[in-house]
Amino acid sequence: MAKTIVDIMAMKEKGTKITMLTAYDATMARLLDDCGVDMLLVGDSLGMVVLGYDSTVPVTMEDMLHHAAAVRRGAPEAFVVGDMPYGSYQTGIRDAVKNALRFIKEAGCDCVKLEGGRKVVPIVAELVQSGVSVVGHLGLTPQTASQLGGYKVQGKDLAAAKTMLEDALVLQDAGAFCLVLECVPEELAKIITAKLHIPTIGIGAGAACDGQVLVLNDMLGMFTNFLPRFVKRYQELAPLMRQGVEEYIAEVRSGAFPAKKQSFQSNTDYSPLI
Ligand code: KIV
């Protein structure tokens, strides 16, 4: 059965950890859905792991909608989160609502995610008012990483930790039903998780969060440009993929592929064509 916001929120109450992975295409989304992942995030990490940019900043609404729709087609059961790209909600509440509704109407997403604390509260409130469910995102917010001094752990001193906790509470009050905490000390993530009635999903935020998310290409060892400390590699697919591709190249060159088995045969006498 397709998952709903009620199912996701109930998991916190029951103490069942929520599993979230990123997905960008229908083939992988189907596989993850079959495995039983609760939530699929069509993250703007798309820009870095699929589109080849060196940050998430250049990703557009059209990029996101294209991939989010593919993920939705592949995954009928999982709860699909569309990540609002940089520039799609910073230009005003009307733009934010218009773009969020596109994720729901055109791509079939179940909700949207956007980065930021108190500054985005009016946007979150308006989206929820418009019927769009919202996941917040605090801690390291990659779209504004340059303002944070780079890709660094956030909330390390008491003042920053207090600000993050307050931001979490105001996002919850504005109607966010779930919160991603990225690169946050585990002690702080634990406090935020305990103070909220909505679930937290951690990435580099320790084990006390109500759920975990990883970038699929990182955890399967397909994206090998760099490895953030919080990633655990559950597979090393890149060498296997390389081996398969190199074997294919060698067999095409040698004539070993395609063999009879991968070719079609006919009883027709084609000799008049020679
Ligand atoms: O874009 C993304 O994949 C994300 C996760 C890192 C949470 O926002």
Q: Residue 256 corresponds to which amino acid? A: A
For Cα atoms 204, 165, 115, give the angle at the middle one, nearest 5 degrees.
60
Beta bridge mates, 21: 40, 214
> Which of 77, 115, 126, 182 is flagged as catalytic?
182
- C-alpha–C-alpha distance, residues 165 and 192, integer Å: 6
DSSP string computed for 174-229: HT--EEEEES--HHHHHHHHHH-SS-EEEESS-TTSSEEEE-HHHHTT---S---T
- The per-residue pLDDT for range 219-237, each reduced to its tens digit, is 999 988 888 999 999 999 9
Instruction: Looking at the CA of residue 142, tell me the nearest atom of ligand 1.
Output: 8
Q: Whose CA is nearest to atom 1 of ligand 1?
A: 43
Binding site membership of 22 for ligand 1 (Cβ less than 6 Å): yes
pLDDT of 103 reads 98
Instruction: Looking at the CA of residue 43, tell me the nearest atom of ligand 1.
Output: 1
Is 155 in contact with 197 (CB distance < 8 Å)?
no
pLDDT of 17 reads 98
- The per-residue pLDDT for range 95-139, each reduced to its tens digit, is 999 999 999 999 999 999 999 999 999 999 999 999 999 999 999
Q: Is 182 a catalytic residue?
A: yes
The mean pLDDT of 246-273, rounded to a whole number, is: 98
- The per-residue pLDDT for range 16-54, each reduced to its tens digit, is 999 999 999 999 999 999 999 999 999 999 999 999 999
pLDDT of 125 reads 98
- The per-residue pLDDT for range 147-194, each reduced to its tens digit, is 888 889 999 999 999 999 999 999 999 999 999 999 999 999 999 999
Q: How far is the CA of 251 from the centre of ligand 1 (A)?
A: 39
pLDDT of 165 reads 98
pLDDT of 194 reads 98
pTM: 0.96
Q: Whose CA is nearest to atom 5 of ligand 1?
A: 43
The pLDDT of residue 145 is above 90: no
